Chain A
Amino acid sequence: MKARHKRFGIVIVGLAALGLATFLVLNALKGNLSYFFSPSEVVEGKAPANHLFRLGGLVEAGSLSREEGDLTVRFVVTDLAQRVTVAYSGILPDLFAEGQGVIAQGRMGPDKVFVAEEVLAKHDETYMPPEVAAALKESGKMGERHPGSKPL
C-alpha cells in the first residue's frame, strides 16, 4: 500500500464519518429547523402555547375581513386540512392575497385566534407570464401544485 492510497483512504473514511455525524445531528434536530408550523400542527397542539411561533399556510379564499374603524385584518390560514384564524394590525406585503402563501409570526390568543406581530408573504417556485397564468386559470389547472412540491 502506497502512502497516497493510505491518504486517499483517510479522506474517504473521514468524509463518510462526517456525513454520518451530520445526518445524525440533522435527524435529531428535525422539527426544530423548520421555520414555521402548519395549521394542522397548531390544531394538534404541536406549536408552543405561551410564546412566539410562526404559522404558515395559504390564506383561505373569501376569509379576509377588516374591522370597522380599525387597522386590524382577520383572515384564515389553512393547509387544506385545518384552519386557524389570524388577526393582524400592520402593513401587509404586496404579494399578500387570498389563496396566497403566508407566514405569520405571533402567539395564540385565548380565543383560539392567532395574534400576528409580523406577516410575510411566501411565494412558490412557479414563474410564468400573465397570459399563461390566465390560460391555466381558465382551464382550471392553476390550482394544481407541482407533484414534487410540498404542501404549504
Chain B
Amino acid sequence: MTSRLINWFKFSSPASFYPLARKISLVSTVIAVVLIAVGLYMSFFVAPTDYKQGEGYRIIFVHVPASWMSMFIYVVMAGWAALGLVFNTRLSAMMAQALAPTGAMFAFLSLWTGSFWGKPMWGTWWVWDARITSELILLFLYLGYMALRAAIDDPRRGDRASAILLLVGVVNVPIIYYSVKWWNTLHQGSTIRMNQESTMEETMLLTMLIMTLGFWAYSIAVAMARVRTVILERERSTTWVRELGGGEI
C-alpha cells in the first residue's frame, strides 16, 4: 500500500478507515483549539471597533463562520449521499450521518447569534425575510434527515432514504447564499464576495477567516470522532470489530 499513490478505495472500507479517522481527528482537534483560541482573542481584543455598530458587531466572528459551516457541511453531506447512492459504499452514509449533528449545531448557532445581533442593531429578534427563513429551513432539513434515518430500522434502507432527502434539500443552499442578492431583505448583503473586494477592514477580515478555519477543523475533528463510534456500532457483528475487543477503542 505504501509504495504507490493513495488508493482511495482502500479507505472506503470502514475497517481501514477506522484507524485513519482517529489520526485525522487528533490532528484536527489540535488545529481547532489553536485557531479558535487565537480567533476568539482577536475577535475580542485585536479587531477594531466598528464605526456604526460599535462593539456589538463582534458577534459576526461567530455568526458568519457558523453560517458558512452550516451551508458547507450540508453540501458535503449531500456529496457523501450521492457517492453512497452511486457506489453503494457503506462508509459514505456513515460520514453523512456523522456530520449531521455538527451541521445542525452550526445552523442553530447561526440563527441564535443572528437573533442576538438583530435585537440591538435592527430592533427585532426575528423577521421572516428570505435569508433568515431559508436558514431556518436548513436547520429543519438537518433535523429531518436525522429523524428520517433514525426512524428506519434497517440501516441500509435508512441510508438510501435519507440520502435522497439530503440531495433534495441541497437546492436550499444556493437559495440561502443568494437570498440577499435576489430579494429585498432586512439582512444586509454579503461582505465577502467571490468576484470582488470585500467591504470589511483587513484585521476584521483576517479574524473572521481564522475563526472559519477553526470551525472547519472543529467540524472535521468532531465528525471523525463521531464516525468512529458510528462504524463500531454498525459493524459490531464483523470479525474485525470483535477482534478489537476493547483494546484500541
Contacts and interface: CB of A to CB of B under 8 A. Distances in A.
Contact of B51 (A7, A11, A35, A129): A129
B11 interface: no
A147 B189 CA distance: 12
Contacts of A148: 189, 193, 195-196
A19 B188 contact: no
Contacts of B129: 35
Contacts of B60: 127
A149 B122 contact: no
Interface residues of B, number: 44
A45 interface: no
A125 interface: yes
A70 interface: no
A15 B130 contact: no
B184 to A, nearest CB: 4
Given A11-B167, A120-B122, A129 B49 contact: yes
Q: Bin the interface of chain A by size.
A: 35 or more
Interface in A105-136: 118-130, 132-134
A51 interface: no
Nearest to B118: A120
Contact of A33 (B130, B181, B201): B130
B31 interface: no
Contacts of A128: 48, 50-51, 200-201, 204
What's the dominant secondary structure at chain A's contact region? mixed
Interface string B168-192: 1011000100000111111011110
B122 A15 contact: no
B121 to A, nearest CB: 6
Given A34-B184, A93-B123, A22 B51 contact: no
Interface of B: 48-53, 57, 60, 82, 85-88, 120-124, 127-130, 167-168, 170-171, 175, 181-186, 188-191, 193, 195-196, 199-201, 204
What's the dominant secondary structure at chain B's contact region? loop
Given A120-B124, A127-B191, A127-B199, A4 B186 contact: no
Nearest to B131: A35
Given A15-B170, A94-B120, A125 B85 contact: no
Given A26-B175, A122-B188, A130-B49, A11 B130 contact: no
Given A4-B87, A11-B86, A147-B196, A120 B186 contact: yes
A132 B204 CA distance: 13
Given A125-B199, A128-B204, A132-B51, 9 more contacts: A4-B88, A33-B182, A35-B129, A38-B184, A93-B122, A95-B52, A120-B123, A120-B127, A127-B199
**9 A-B pairs closest in CB distance:** A93-B123, A133-B51, A129-B48, A34-B184, A35-B129, A130-B51, A126-B199, A125-B191, A125-B188
Contact of B184 (A56, A124, A133): A56
Given A121-B121, A121-B123, A150 B196 contact: no
Interface string A1-37: 0001001100100110011001000100000011111
A148 B192 CA distance: 11
Nearest to B121: A95
Contacts of A56: 184
Contacts of A119: 123
Contact of A22 (B128, B175, B186): B175
A150 B181 contact: yes
A134 to B, nearest CB: 8
Contacts of A15: 167, 170
A103 interface: yes
Contacts of B88: 4
